[in-house]
Every structure is written in structure tokens, then in C-alpha cells.
Copies of this chain bind each other. A is one copy, B any other.
């Protein structure tokens, strides 16, 4: 019926839109395959070879794809030129601003990390503008290093241990920030360092959200899950929910705050304002304190905790076990609510898995309904080593390029 309607004939605007969409389709197909021939792409996306060739030519010219050598297709034995996404050109810049460090990384279109800079620094107490200027300096060095590799960051994504919405931090209890317009402040600080550059678009998100996306995009491919609860143990405890490959943001963008689920109604006051939050029992400070270490010892303290646990020191083992038990208890509730494929633990939890996981697993086994959680299940797992919030942030920029390359064609400077 619809096809008899003359108004349904594709207009010029439609054709341009279709081509733009198909450019992304071809680019993503090569990206996901790692390497592909024009014929291979055509077979996969269901366009004609001629159409694919025209799209590939444009992507080559504009620097999104490169071609190299000859490859032999399995079926016909005819050689074809292999296409790959470019290792130069558009890149993503990820900036993780955490309590006691700043990490900046640049990844290329293929997702490979090409620059990583880490600065250990205590960001607590300093004014937000100072911290963001510090991060901008590090980012600026990363951009220089990327430029030397002929990479061109086309956007920056900030990862923060905070409730972030609409480009602003609403609250970052452990940084002591309230209502900070982080995107604007960071962009301003970066522009001040490079007054001649075109301003880089900046966006921001919660660090656990971005670490969870890194897990989804870069995690172990042999046992990939697409619905999971992600927890990252830092000075605070970050959390994120990924359902069917999509981040659950919630009505206000603040979903995933598992660190502030109550474990002891009358427990110690938390920086968030409530009492007895999980963070007060399984955060870094609690872990160190219970183990008899200086709770503000940070990374050194954690290394010591891990060493003691490895040597079987009872107080260290008990401290981690107690944290694991509380973690498992809260996670059992979350699993009963969400029924995910897996629970993934990152940050310090990752390093403490051998002593943390058994207690958490025991609680999960006892408390998840209907015996759905079997002991020693692979559903409780450590995060992969290949992703963190900074890389997730950089990858989000790259994914925007892959989704619409035409929007990122380099214009010659005016």
C-alpha cells in the first residue's frame, strides 16, 4: 500500500541520509571484522559490490580506512585487497579523574590504546577548577603524543566518581564536589593550554558506567556477557548495570549506585549523607582499617593488604572476607532484582578476588532465589585487565565516529 504513495519515494535528502548511514555500516563492518575485503563487506551488509566499493573509496579518501596487501578469499581463490580501519586520523580521548589519580588515554579507531598517562595525586580538597586544570594539562600532553602518531582526538570524555547528568556533576561525595559544570570547566582549561586549536567537544559520565562499557567492548571475548552488574572498588564503590548490551541510566541518569545500598541501617555515616552504606564496609578505607592498616594509605596500603593476604596473615584475610560477605549480601539483593548473567568486580576488588570471592559467593549462593546461584559459578568474576574507565571513555568517542564518520571528516583549517 505504502509503496503506491508517491510521497514515499526517496527524496534527495533521504538518499544522502542512506549513504551516510551506509558509510557507517561499512566502517563498522570492517572494524568488527578486524580485516575484510570489499566482497566480504558486501556479503555481510547485503549491499552490491559496486555500492560497497563507492563507500569504501570515500572512507579511504577521508582517512577512516586503509588498504594493504592482497588477501585470498577462501571460496573463489581470487585475491582481494584487505581493508582495515585507519591507525591514524580520528581518535578518542578518555580522561578519568578519580580520588587519588588522573588517567588519560587515547585510542585509535581500531580501539587500540596508543597513549596512556597516569598521574597519582590526591584530588580531595582541591577546588574542582584546579583538579580539572590538572587533568587538562595531562590531556594536553596526551594530545601532543597522539599528534606525533598522526592521531587526531575528535572528542574528550570525562569519567568521574560522581553522579553526572546534563554535563554536570551533581554530587561526588568522595571528591567533595557539588554541582560542578565539569564539561565546561575542562573544555575551558584545555582551550587555555591550546588557544590556537579548535575546541574539543567534551562530555562526562560516571566512571563505573564507562568502566562497564570498557568491559563490554574489550572484555574477554570467549565468555562475553551482555547483561551484568559491574562494581569497581576505589576509595568509593562505583557501580553500573548493563542490560542486553545497554547501560541502564535510570530516570535521572543515576542508576547503578550500589555503593550506597544500605547494609547496616544504623551503621557509620557515609559521605553521601546516609548511614551504613556498602561503601562503609567494603570501600578501601574500611578494608584497610579492618586489616589494621592506615585507612588513608591508598595504593601502598592496598599493596600491603594484598601481600599480607597472600601470606595468610589472619587479620588481612578476615578483613577481606568480611568485606566480601557484605558485598555478597548486597549483590544477592541486586541479583534477585536484576537477574543478570554475571557480576563483574573491578578496581581493588579485582586484586583481592582470591580472598574476597569465596565469601561473596557463599552469600550469593545462600541468598539468590531458587538455587539460581550455584557455588563457584563463573557468574562472579574479575573484570578483564584490558578495560578501565579511561579506556571506556576514549572508546565512547571512537564509537561516535564509527556511528557517523561523515560528521568527523577533517576540514582544512580556515
Contact = CB atoms under 8 A, between A and B. Distances in A.
B48 A250 contact: no
Interface in A314-363: 329-330, 332-334, 336-341
Most buried by B among A171, A248, A339: A339
Given A47-B2, A369-B257, A339 B274 contact: no
B369 A260 contact: yes
A8 to B, nearest CB: 9
A133 interface: no
Contacts of A275: 366-367
B249 A339 contact: yes
A299 interface: no
A163 B250 contact: no
Interface stretch (A15-23, A31-39, A116-124): A15-23
A255 B243 CA distance: 12
Contacts of A243: 243, 248
A208 interface: no
B252 A372 contact: yes
A170 interface: yes
Nearest to A54: B1
Contacts of A253: 339
B338 A2 contact: no
A227 interface: yes
A368 B121 CA distance: 30
Interface in A162-213: 163, 170-171
A259 to B, nearest CB: 8
A74 interface: no
A362 to B, nearest CB: 12
Given A4-B51, A48-B1, A256-B337, A262 B369 contact: no
A330 to B, nearest CB: 7
Contacts of A329: 262, 265
Nearest to A251: B341
A258 interface: yes
A273 interface: yes
A406 to B, nearest CB: 14
B274 A369 contact: yes
Contact of A258 (B55, B265, B336): B336
Given A262-B333, A274-B366, A275-B366, 17 more contacts: A1-B19, A1-B48, A2-B18, A2-B47, A4-B51, A163-B370, A250-B338, A250-B340, A251-B340, A254-B369, A254-B370, A255-B338, A258-B336, A260-B336, A260-B369, A262-B329, A274-B369
Interface of A: 1-5, 10, 15, 18-19, 22, 47-48, 51, 54-55, 163, 170-171, 227, 239, 241, 243, 248-258, 260-262, 265, 272-275, 329-330, 332-334, 336-341, 366-367, 369-372
8 contacts: A1-B48, A2-B22, A3-B18, A254-B339, A261-B333, A261-B336, A275-B366, A333-B333
